[in-house]
Amino acid sequence: MRLFHFDKVITNEEFGGKIWVFWKTEMDMQLVRMGTQYLSLHIDDGSSHFLRTFIYAKCNRYERQLLWEELSSAGMGVEPCLFAGDFNIIHSDVERCGGSPRTRAAMDDFNRWIHQGRLIEMNSQGRKFSWCNGQHGLSRAWAKLDRVLLDAKLLIAFPYARCPYLSRSTSDHSPMFIEFLKDTFTYGPSPFRFQQMWIEHPDFISFVQMVWSEPAIAIFEEKVEGLEHLLQSNWENEVERELVRYSTELSTWRRREDIRLAQMAKIKWRMEGDRNSKFFHVWLSNKRHRKIHKLRTTDGLEFNSPEEIHLGAEENFSEFLQ
């Protein structure tokens, strides 16, 4: 737990399950109930509260039926709720590619539970399938086994919540990163920030050229995802060999990135150990949170949305510079 920098942990291991939940003390989380295939926690972050249930469903249809019964809407209460994890079943055959088909009855059980609970799937981004069996050639199979479901009350509170799927590494499942977005006052790309002092360093230009010439991890991830997409539609031996080659290269660069991040973590710890640096970081954080919500020009025009502010400023400075 200390290795991951979390303060508290809970698990359903005593029920024979394999779910572990870690969190920090600033998040108030209370256990509501648990079973072999789930763990439900009441979450309160000060501004909102809801019931979150972590799922690790069994592969057996009968055992999953027990899960659907335990998590029925009648037994979940009236709080806003969210279900996330590995459900080990799909909505329909369009959510799989290759491998053995799922039984219609098992999919109907899952869809019936979702319908009865009036649950809505959170918007997802990234990969179409969240799981791959890791086999090669025609034995490879993909499916969307991992997802996030929430009820209408929680969706109203977080209308812009989303769940990007991250790239797989050592696991056969893609990690899910759930974002509860409330502030919609964002527009355009993130600003580019640069410390001008670096341009005076004698090795600056050569260092930038060296870094830019190195391949980025994102390029390899996109290549692997593209090759997987090709194999999902039509298996070819040449594409299979390309996938193995790029997957190996991606693993190498991920290992290098892990080393870099580990070193950065040590540097960050040393910086924050200095009381003056800590004050400096807090000041910068507060400065970044300031936003322009309304803009008025000298001739009385008002801009009230991010898009209007962007276009109005662009037009104003274009005329001024001309």
CA distance 136 to 100: 15
pLDDT given at position 217: 80
Q: How confident is the model at residue 221 (pLDDT cuts 50, 70, 90)?
A: confident
* φ, ψ dihedrals at 12, nearest 5°: -100, 25
Buried b (16+ CB within 10 A) or exposed e, 109-140: bbeebbeebebeebebeebebbbbeeeeeeeb
Arithmetic mean of pLDDT, 142-169: 88
Residue 188's pLDDT is 63
Give phi and psi for 181, each to the nearest 5.
-90, 125
The stretches of 132-202 forming alpha helices (DSSP H) are 152-157
User: Quick check: 173 and 293 in contact, CB under 8 A?
Assistant: no
Alpha carbons 110 and 58: distance in angstroms, whole number: 13
- Cα–Cα distance measured from residue 50 to residue 32, given in angstroms and rounded to the nearest whole number: 11
| % residues pLDDT > 90 (the chain) | 30
Q: Read off the pLDDT of residues 251-267 as tens digits, 9 standing for 90 and up.
A: 888 887 777 666 655 55
pTM above 0.75, yes or no: no
Q: Check residues 235 and 76 and name the one with the higher pLDDT.
A: 235
Token pair for 82: 């969210």
Q: Are strands 28-34 and 38-44 parallel, antiparallel or unpaired?
A: antiparallel
The pLDDT tens digits for 17-39 are 899 999 888 888 999 999 999 99
Q: What is the pLDDT of residue 193?
A: 76
Q: 141 — phi, psi (to 5°)?
A: -140, 145
The pLDDT-based confidence of 278 (bands split at 50, 70, 90) is very low
Task: Look at residue 90 in the predicted model and tell me its pLDDT.
Answer: 95
Look at residues 241, 246, 257, 248 and name the one whose alpha carbon lies nearest to residue 219: 246
Those residues whose C-beta lies under 8 Å from the C-beta of residue 108, and which sit 6 or more positions away, are: none
**pLDDT at residue 274, as a whole number:** 46
- Is 85:54 a contact under the CB 8 Å cutoff? yes
Q: 147 pairs with which residues across the strands?
A: 85
**pLDDT greater than 70 at residue 156:** yes
Per-residue pLDDT, 184 = 55
Q: What is the mean pLDDT of the chain?
A: 82
What confidence category does residue 276 fall into, taking pLDDT thresholds of 50, 70 and 90?
very low
Q: What is the pLDDT of residue 138?
A: 83
For the chain, the straight-line distance linking the first and the last C-alpha, in angstroms and rounded, comes to 59
d(CA 208, CA 210): 5
